[in-house]
Amino acid sequence: MKCALVTGGSRGIGRAVCLKLAGMGYHILVNYKSNETEAAKTLSLINEKGGSGELLRFDVSDKNDIQKVLGGWIEANADNLIEVLVNNAGIKEDGLLMWMKDAQWDNVIRTSLDGFFYVTRLVLNGGMLLKKYGRIINIVSLSGLKGLPGQTNYSAAKAGVIGATKALAQEVGRRGITVNAVAPGFIKTDMTVALNEKEMKAMIPVQRFGEPEEVAHAVGFLASPDASYITAEVLSINGGLYS
């Protein structure tokens, strides 16, 4: 069975990515942190589309939890390789740096940057390197490219993942593994629900926020076998907001 692991697959962009990859024939490991109801909904949408998957609950900011749950799954599923890894789980805890609490900094860095490291290392060593084939796609952000005020923690975390994407791509290219990043602008999910699209759309050339499916489409492309000569890239999906 060919598997794809999507961290933060219970909602938003992650859910759309799960559905896209399920449509490409992958058995989907739907990771989530705590929202069991939404994770179960993603799984039933996958099943409705004729796909298959399972839920895998672990906290990407907790390396012990990753080792226990994901490591346990890999050990118990020696024949089912994770061919596609989408590091999508992310949070924001905005605030100006001068007033930022330790926890705001730590939580955001741990979820995006530490999460990327511990999950990716496990998946690489858990079969991807041996199989000599893989697709790793990291969901970063416009913030990690441009920097956004009020998001020094989030911008630093995402910029860190962009650097790691480029470095890792050079380490594993010879093993048939590509590593790319996708950098969305403003996408309609729970994360942006408090933003005023009507006011903000004026600064976006296509004059609207994006849909999770529009990000998933790019992830599906980078995950496809045909995208084998694209690696170490950062693909912006932001309606022309920044290039």
Does residue 34 belong to the site contacting ligand NDP (CB under 6 A)?
yes
Q: Which residues fall within 8 angstroms of residue 180, CB to CB, at 6 or more apart?
A: 136, 137, 138, 165, 169, 222, 230, 231, 232, 233, 234, 235
Which range in 25-33, 73-81, 120-128, 172-180 contacts ligand NDP by CB under 6 A? 25-33
CB nearer ligand NDP, residue 10 or residue 178: 10
Quick one: which of 5, 21, 28, 33 contacts ligand NDP (CB under 6 A)? 33
- Cα separation, 219 vs 5, in Å, equals 13
Task: Report 164-193 residues binding ligand NDP (CB under 6 A).
Answer: 184, 186-187, 189-192
Catalytic residue among 118, 133, 154, 229: 154
**What CA dihedral angle connects 159, 164, 170 and 172, to 10 degrees?**
-140
- Would you mind telling me the total number of residues written for the chain in this entry? 243
The question of whether 154 is a catalytic residue gets the answer yes
CB of 7 to ligand NDP, least distance (A): 6
Task: Report 57-116 residues binding ligand NDP (CB under 6 A).
Answer: 59-61, 88-91, 111
Quick one: which of 18, 27, 32, 236 contacts ligand NDP (CB under 6 A)? 32
Quick one: which of 3, 38, 113, 169 contacts ligand NDP (CB under 6 A)? 38
- Cα separation, 121 vs 211, in Å, equals 30
Radius of gyration of the chain from its Cα atoms, rounded to whole angstroms: 17
Task: Give residue 155's Cα distance to chain centre.
Answer: 15
- Cα separation, 216 vs 214, in Å, equals 5
CB of 125 to ligand NDP, least distance (A): 20
Q: What is the binding site for ligand NDP (CB under 6 A)?
A: 7-8, 10-14, 31-35, 38, 59-61, 88-91, 111, 139, 141, 184, 186-187, 189-192
Provide the annotated active-site residues. 154
